[in-house]
Amino acid sequence: MKKQELRRLLRADLYRNCGRASAGALIRGVLVGGPFKYVFWARFCKYLSRKSFVWRPLYYVARIILNHYMFKLGLQVSFHADIGPGLLIGHFGGIVVSRRAKIGKNCNLSHGVTIGVAGHGPDRGVPTIGDNVYIGPNAVIVGAISVGDNAAVGANCVVTKDVPDNAVVGGVPGRLISEKGSYELITRTDWEHADDPQ
């Protein structure tokens, strides 16, 4: 990951969290920003993990800070996961995302969400989440499945099968309940036009 990509990711995350992407908003977000603090340090750890050994001391410090917030906020979103820009964690607590998960841009994660590994043998795998996906409180998405763009996963839903684009799924196991998608649930997606926090 290059420095420009890190800045792009942080600008998108910050804008989706507070509606601004200024340097002041970044400082406030890192100091008092709740879940954004975790997202910031996760992005920073991923950036540093791909730098040369000269950066290793700073990487270890960042890992210590990230682990502190992991326990304090109850967030276990692996920095190894492939997560697109504009990640919004609405409320902290009980969120687990596998290190092998793939999540598109502008994803909303609610408290209690699990995105993890399931299956046996060749069926074993982790989910791929599309763009502009809303995942409700305590939802569980597991296995080698895909959740389409603009989909919404309802509260307490257990998803073990593919979800098409623009679908709303709910229940246990998850089933299609509408095709209205996540359009009213995903906001502040115009982060590309936001100011750069430098």
Catalytic machinery residues: 120
CA distances from 72 to 29, 78, 96, 125, 172 (A): 16, 15, 14, 29, 30
Asked if 159 and 174 touch (Cβ cutoff 8 Å), the reply is yes
Tokens of residue 66, six digits: 């990230």
Asked if 181 and 197 touch (Cβ cutoff 8 Å), the reply is no
43 exposure class (CB count in 10 Å sphere: 0-12, 13-18, 19+): buried
Give the dihedral of Cα atoms 134, 139, 141, 147; nearest 10 deg: -20
CB count within 10 Å of CB 72 equals 11
Tokens of residue 180, six digits: 């209205």
